[in-house]
Amino acid sequence: MFSGIFQPMHLLVILVIVMIIWGPGKLPELGEGLAKSIKAFKKTMSDDPAPTTIEHREGKKD
């Protein structure tokens, strides 16, 4: 089931390294920033795309 880099022990080691680097006080800020980034990305992907150049030019009369 777990193979490669995503073995439970590897994830635990990564978590410990992150805790050492940023400390437990900084982790909530990092999580909040990551969540905001993901929400902004999802919102951007779900919005209607802007008109393409071809559609834009068809509307103009030179």
pLDDT digits (tens), the chain, 62 positions: 556 767 888 888 988 898 888 888 888 888 899 899 999 988 888 876 655 555 555 555 55
Predicted model pTM: 0.47
CA Rg, the chain, in Å?
22
Query: What is the spatial distance between Cα 51 and Cα 48, in angstroms, rounded to a whole number?
Result: 9
**Who's near 24: CB < 8 A, 6+ residues apart?**
none
Q: Note the pLDDT of residue 54.
A: 56
